[in-house]
Amino acid sequence: MGLLNAVKDLRTVRQLLTKAEAEALRAGEELPGPEHLLLSALELPDGSAVRAFERVGADPSALRKAIESAHHGALAAAGFAEDEGGLEAPVERRPAPGVFRSTPQAQQVFQQAVALSKSTRPSLLRSAHVVAATCTLERGTVVRALTALGVDRARLKAAACAEVGIPG
């Protein structure tokens, strides 16, 4: 990888992780999970994640609400009633200083996305790599949110791979 591409890749990684952390803070959660990485990926400027969603007929802007609904539905199914909105996202928080911390599942998604990016030319991390890596998960909030959106993860993964030119 040339120097310019390396710098570009670093910028993408920083954008992805910083935004994921901000998404977790906004939701009042301690650590970013795969759902926050996915929300972050949908805002990366390369746009391939958004296009992957659109290829399968899913509305990327509906993901945040689907995540909230997944949590709400889980509570309701277990018999814990609450208002649809639950607690307001409490306060403005700022990221803790130091190294980026996330859930193990988010780390797994990030590492897999990076590994996928190495198989493309140029080997730059793109937002669709994050989508494809997320779609390999089988459980958890992001899986339930995608299901709530009516997204078939295998199809979404194939669409994400098509966006970056790798076999699905």
Instruction: Please report, as ranges, the residues that interact with other proteins according to CB under 8 A.
Output: 25, 27-30, 70-72, 74-75, 77-80, 82, 86-87, 89-97, 139-141, 144
Which CB atom, from 90 or from 167, has the smaller least distance to other proteins?
90
Which CB atom, from 2 or from 90, has the smaller least distance to other proteins?
90
What's the CA gap between 168 and 160, in Å, rounded?
8
Q: How many CB atoms lie within 10 A of CB 158?
A: 18
CB within 8 Å of 69: residues ≥ 6 apart: 145, 148
Minimum CB separation of residue 29 from other proteins in Å reads 6
Q: Taking CA 59 as the corner, what is the angle to CA 48 and CA 166, rounded to the nearest 5 degrees? A: 30
Q: Which two tokens stand for residue 165?
A: 């030119």
Minimum CB separation of residue 75 from other proteins in Å reads 5
Q: Which two tokens stand for residue 41?
A: 């990926």
Which CB atom, from 86 or from 122, has the smaller least distance to other proteins?
86
Considering Cα of 139, then 114, then 38, then 26, what sign does the dihedral take?
positive
Minimum CB separation of residue 93 from other proteins in Å reads 5
Contact 53, 42 (CB under 8 A): yes
Minimum CB separation of residue 74 from other proteins in Å reads 4
Which CB atom, from 55 or from 101, has the smaller least distance to other proteins?
101
Minimum CB separation of residue 77 from other proteins in Å reads 5
Which CB atom, from 28 or from 57, has the smaller least distance to other proteins?
28
